[in-house]
């Protein structure tokens, strides 16, 4: 059977949505983008989804409309086949989810059902995971709980940050959306729909581990993982930066590495300070602190810390 054009409504933000839009527009079947929905405004000075869509003649609608049940009537009137949700944070109303002919799908930057919710890339790094995945799933009223259509797994490397892990999700996820659209145009009834094992489901909210405080009585691996999980450089971190206290008040740890060198000092004690940073004692090893942030300024630890100083959690 020859493939038919699919009418798509895309709801999205960030580079992931831009890449998805470009990929679908370049597909041989020339599927129709009814509109893109985004919180961005059209601005010729940037490469936002709104601007890219406007440049190629695709209508731009405000993404907040998906929260309104009355919007379902427009989706039906426009004969939308697929809704694709790509990194949009708006919760789509149940009536809107049911409006497209084939269904509504979300590209979630995490393996489901284990990593549902917010900031999952940070949670995975914080927990020291060695593997991760991106999931395309049917959208349901409960967030990230719909049946799985496609999933792609990949390794987490030691140098990965939340940003690089997000980029891996996008790189692996956009082809999954292309596959979804291709299948929707040729044999929509064959789109996979695998129920999630909700007994394995874990949902992450906006909460930050330990309230954002870095606890030196933890093991070195846990401390370094927390610092890495907050490192969204050069962008702001949704978790902020890990907070510690010293004799002059509060400061943040920006970069830290394991040394695999056992320490004998009390947790939080500053050891040797050198060109590469300062060593700080954890529960089991010295941690190499390579960059701090104090009063909004990035500072080299060796410029302000001295051997024997005690860092603590403020309690």
Looking at residue 42, its pLDDT comes to 56
Distance CA 1, CA 183 (A): 12
Query: How many degrees, rounded to 5, is the angle at CA 63 between CA 60 and CA 66?
Result: 125
Please give the Cα distance from 279 to 306 (Å, whole number): 10
Q: 3-class SS at 126?
A: helix
State the pLDDT at residue 248: 86
Q: Considering the entire predicted model, what is its pTM?
A: 0.92
Distance separating alpha carbons of residues 195 and 144, to the nearest angstrom: 12
- CA dihedral sign, ordered 17, 20, 25, 26: positive
Query: What sign for the dihedral angle of Cα 245, 246, 248, 252?
Result: negative
Alpha-carbon dihedral angle through residues 75, 80, 85, 89, given to the nearest 10 degrees: -10
Query: Tell me, what's the pLDDT at 5?
Result: 87
Contact 82/100 with Cβ under 8 angstroms? yes
The domains found in the chain, sorted by start residue, are 7-204 (3.40.50.170), 209-303 (3.10.25.10)
DSSP three-state, residue 53: helix
Greatest extent of the chain over all pairs of C-alpha atoms, in Å: 75
CA nearest neighbour of 253 among 313, 288, 293 = 293
- Tell me the per-residue pLDDT of 244-284, one tens digit each, with 9 for 90 and over: 999 889 999 999 999 999 998 899 999 999 988 999 999 99
Say whether the peptide bond before residue 167 is cis (omega within 30 degrees of 0): no
Specify the DSSP class assigned to residue 296: T
The whole-angstrom separation of Cα 71 and Cα 62 is 11
Q: What does the block give as tokens for 303? A: 């410029």
Q: pLDDT value at position 197?
A: 96
Predicted confidence at residue 207, as pLDDT, reads: 93
Are the C-beta atoms of 213 and 144 separated by less than 8 Å? no
pLDDT mean values, one per 10 residues, the chain (315 residues): 82 92 82 90 68 90 95 97 94 96 97 97 97 98 96 96 96 97 95 96 95 96 97 94 93 96 93 93 97 94 94 80
Residue 264's pLDDT is 85
């Amino acid at each position: 059977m020859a493939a038919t054009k699919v009418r798509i409504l895309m709801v999205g933000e960030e580079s992931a949505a831009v890449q998805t839009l470009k990929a679908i527009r370049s597909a041989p079947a020339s599927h129709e983008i009814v509109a893109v929905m985004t919180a961005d405004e059209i601005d010729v000075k940037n490469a936002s989804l709104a601007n890219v869509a406007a440049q190629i003649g695709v209508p731009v609608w405000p993404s907040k409309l998906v929260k309104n049940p009355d919007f379902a009537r427009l989706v039906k009137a426009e004969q939308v086949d697929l809704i694709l949700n790509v990194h949009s944070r708006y919760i789509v109303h149940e009536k809107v989810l049911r409006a497209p002919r084939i269904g509504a799908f979300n590209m979630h930057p995490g393996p489901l059902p284990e990593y549902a919710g917010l900031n999952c890339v940070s949670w995975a790094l914080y927990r020291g995971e060695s593997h991760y995945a991106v999931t395309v799933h049917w959208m349901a009223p409960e967030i990230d709980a719909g049946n799985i259509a496609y999933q792609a797994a990949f390794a987490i490397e030691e140098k990965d940050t939340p940003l690089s892990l997000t980029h891996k999700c996008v790189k692996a996820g956009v082809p999954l959306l292309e596959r979804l659209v291709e299948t929707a145009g040729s044999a929509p009834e064959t789109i996979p729909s695998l129920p999630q094992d909700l007994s394995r489901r874990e949902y992450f909210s906006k909460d930050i581990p330990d309230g954002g405080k870095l606890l030196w009585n933890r093991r070195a691996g846990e401390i370094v993982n927390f610092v890495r999980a907050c490192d969204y450089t050069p962008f702001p971190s949704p978790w902020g930066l890990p907070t510690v206290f010293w004799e002059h008040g509060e400061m943040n740890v920006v970069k830290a590495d394991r040394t695999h060198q056992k320490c004998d000092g009390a947790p939080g004690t500053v050891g040797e300070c050198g060109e590469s940073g300062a060593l700080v004692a954890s529960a089991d090893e010295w941690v190499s602190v390579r960059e701090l942030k104090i009063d909004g300024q990035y500072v080299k630890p060796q410029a302000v810390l001295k051997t024997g100083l005690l860092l603590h959690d403020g309690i």
